[in-house]
Structures are given as structure tokens and as C-alpha cells.
Amino acid sequence: MLNLREAELHVLYCLIRKPKLMRIANVDSKWFAGAGLQHLIELLHRLDGAFAGELDLISQFNGAYPNEMTRQDWLEIDNSAVTTADYSGWLKMVRDDYMNQQLRQAAFHYQQTPTRQNRAALESALDNTKQDDGIRSDVSLSDLADVMDYKLDHKVDDGLQTYTGLNDLMGGGLRGGILFTIGARPAVGKSAFALNLIHQLESKNKAVLVDLFSLEMTNNENYQRLLAMETTLDNSKFNNPSVQLAPNEKLTVKSAMERLKAQQLYLHDNIFFLDEIIAKISAHAQAAAKGKYLAVIDYLQLIKTKQPNENRTLEISSITRELKLLTNELDIPIILLSQLNRQVEMRPNKVPNSADLRDSGSIEQDSNIVAFLYNGYLECGQPKSYRPKPNEPRKVILDIQKNRAGALGRVSFSFAANQLKFKEVFL
């Protein structure tokens, strides 16, 4: 996670290269730490772009404020080497930190000396934190060109890797800003598939933080499923492991438990309200390193809201809207599982489509990617549904039918239901 000092340096790096950024939002010198950075902001305000590059700025600064900034300070700013696309986010961080600091100080003074005057100061500090900061991320084509320029010379993050076929269709992996909805009929294995995706992601990417909101299964059930996947032991043996597991299997389980401990996976079986889900996601996403966070919600139709709407379609629309906005705001991917209505059972080929997403068309509208999971296999590239046989691995297709920034296509899996394990089938 970016620290405050880095955010300050990034803001200055951008302002020195693009002084016009000063005009898109107020930049107050008070928000910055230390006389050097504060005076540099004041000088940038006064010059309003009238300097010929960084060297000229340094010489004007040294003339006005001798010995306030060392060569090392300037080098630190230079080392930022960022694009200006995230300027508003860094400025906001610097501003918010200052406002919160003022609020803490005012609260401390009021607690020590609860006078009317100190109370007014506290109220005003609180008002300041709530005020619209006017910091907007207006992005011009020239800003976007900067970003593309940067990407032409630097390899950008591929996103979070999961199954190979899925990575290919997504043109990389799971990236920020993606709401990925997976719909399936009950018992096809969508909860199990979500756990498998997380498992893939934890094994193929370093230091990823994942939140799994499971609104229908307990943490214990999910943990047992994780152990079954990790050990390839029958899931039912974990119901009474002391009796049902052989001594060598217990050793296998213990080492699987150790491996799982290393993962930053948080299971939540007691959070049902949308605003609580959002609060948890916001806290963890901001604590995680950039590009290293994923939230999975199992499943949409069980999410509750504090202002329930009699019209469930409208309520579901507001939930998917909020989740979509959250992916953009925090620049994170969210995987949202969804039930399908029964119509799909009536169709001869039993291949689901967007019309089967229960409760609302907003699910398709708000999602960047919509995929369906169903029992089936590919024959000459075409999906064939089938009825799985007991005690045999099932054939399952993940069918991507909407993909805003990538290809449509299908990925085939073999699903060992007793181990809850999905293996990709390469055709």
C-alpha cells in the first residue's frame, strides 16, 4: 500500500511535469509535510507554469528558499516516475490525511479541555472532512496518451491469474474494475467453482488478499471444502475426521492445513447486508497491495439491503450497480455468483443465457463479464448438455457470454464433486 510520503512525492512529480494540474483542483501547501514541500507548492502556485523545466524550477526554489530542499529531496521526487493518470487519487490521499489529522487534534483538545470554543473547533474540523474536496479525476486525451506512452515502454501487470483458458479469454487475468458474474443452476457447483478459482489464484499469484462472502455456507463447510480440494480426499470424510480419516490421510491433511495458513483468504459467513460487505471490501482492498485483491460473493440473490424494496428487481439492480461502482472506485475485481431461474431447464439444450439470470437484467448490464456454469462438454466446438453420472467426474463448461474487454468463449472442466475439485480440460 502506498504511504503518505510516496503520495506527496507523486503529486509533486506530476505538478512539476504538468503544472496545469494545479488548476483542476485546489492544492493547499498546508497538506504537505515539512517546510520544503510546502514552499515548493507555494512556488508552483506563484509561477503558474512559468518555469523552463525542473532544473529552472530548482534554481528558482533555491533562490527563494536557500537550503530548504537537498539534492536527495529532489531525487526522491524524480524517483516517483509515475504517469499523471492517478494524480487525483494521490492528491486526495494527501488532502484526506491532513483533514483527518486536524480532526484528531481537535478531538484531543476538546477531550482535554471541553470548552465551547474547542467544541466549535472540533465541529469545524469534522465539517472540513465531510466537505466536497473538489478533486475530480478529469482525464484528457493527453493524460490518456501519457498512460499509453508508459505502457508502450513498460510491461503492465497482467492481472490475477487463474485457469489458463480463462486468462486467455480475459487477455491476461482478473484486473481492477471488473465485475465478473457467474450464473448457474443449484448444485452444478458454482460455490465449489468459486473456491477453485480462489485456490488457483492463491497458487499462481503472490501475496493476494481474498475475501469470500459466503451467504449460504458456513466458514467450517468452506474450510472443509478447501481441505478436500487441497488433499483430493473425499469431502464427506471431514464431517468426522478423527474416525473417517486414516492415519496417513491425517498427515496429508495437516500439511494441507499448513499450506492454507500461508494464504490471505478471509471467509465471511456472517455478513449479509450490502453496506457491510462494501465496508469490509473497502477496508481490505485498501490494505492490500495494488492489483492484489479479490472479493468473491456467493451469491447475489441472498444479499440483503438496509432499505429493502418490495420490488426485488429494483433492489437487485441497486446491488449490482453499487458493486460495479465499487470495482471502479477501488480498482479491484469482484466475482459475483448468481442463481438462474428455472427456464433453462425447459429448453432442449439446457444451455443458460442472460435471460436466465434471476431477478434482473441489471446483472448483465452492470457486469463486465458474464459467464454460465453448466453440466456439459464441447463437441466440434458446440456445447452439449448432459446428465452427470454418480461417482464419475462431471463434465462442466464455463461459458463466457459477455466480455466487455475480451473474447467470448468456453472453458471445459472436469469436476470431481466428492473432492470439490475443478480441473481444466485442454481440448
Ligand X SMILES: Nc1ncnc2c1ncn2[C@@H]1O[C@H](COP(=O)(O)OP(=O)(O)OP(=O)(O)O)[C@@H](O)[C@H]1O
For the annotated catalytic residues, the residue numbers are 216
Site string for ligand X, 167-186 (x = CB under 6 A): -----------------x-x
Write down the least CB distance from residue 247 to ligand X, Å. 21
- Kindly state whether residue 301 participates in binding ligand X, applying the rule CB under 6 A: no
Paired strand residues for 394: 415
- Kindly state whether residue 189 participates in binding ligand X, applying the rule CB under 6 A: yes
User: Which string of DSSP letters, residue by residue, matches 109-135?
Assistant: HHHHS--HHHHHHHHHHHHHHHS----
Grid cell for residue 163 = 485457469
Binder of ligand X out of 175, 190, 284, 292 (CB under 6 A): 190
| Among the residue ranges 15-23, 153-161, 190-198, 305-313, the one whose residues contact ligand X (CB under 6 A) | 190-198
CA-based nearest residue to 101, from 38, 36, 33, 25: 33
CB 77 within 8 A of CB 7: no
Nearer to ligand X, 125 or 340 (CB): 340
- Kindly state whether residue 222 participates in binding ligand X, applying the rule CB under 6 A: no
Contact set for ligand X, span 358-417 (CB under 6 A)? 417
Binder of ligand X out of 187, 251, 355, 407 (CB under 6 A): 187
**Cα–Cα dist 252/173, whole Å:** 31
Paired strand residues for 211: 266, 295
- Kindly state whether residue 143 participates in binding ligand X, applying the rule CB under 6 A: no
Nearer to ligand X, 190 or 358 (CB): 190
CA-CA-CA-CA torsion for 357, 360, 366, 369, nearest 10 degrees?
A: 0
Binder of ligand X out of 84, 191, 317, 360 (CB under 6 A): 191
**Cα–Cα dist 126/129, whole Å:** 5
**# of chain residues touching ligand X (CB under 6 A):** 14
Binder of ligand X out of 169, 188, 326, 398 (CB under 6 A): 188
Contact set for ligand X, span 201-220 (CB under 6 A)? 216
User: Which string of DSSP letters, residue by residue, matches 244-283?
Assistant: HS-HHHHHHHHHHHHHHHTSEEEEESS--BHHHHHHHHHH
**Cα–Cα dist 224/213, whole Å:** 16
- Kindly state whether residue 235 participates in binding ligand X, applying the rule CB under 6 A: yes
**Cα–Cα dist 356/121, whole Å:** 56
Contact set for ligand X, span 236-275 (CB under 6 A)? 236
* Cis before 266? omega within 30: no
Write down the least CB distance from residue 73 to ligand X, Å. 55
Write down the least CB distance from residue 174 to ligand X, Å. 20
- Kindly state whether residue 192 participates in binding ligand X, applying the rule CB under 6 A: yes
| Among the residue ranges 48-56, 101-109, 116-124, 187-195, the one whose residues contact ligand X (CB under 6 A) | 187-195
Length of the chain: 427
Q: Which residues bind ligand X (CB under 6 A)?
A: 184, 186-192, 216, 234-236, 417-418
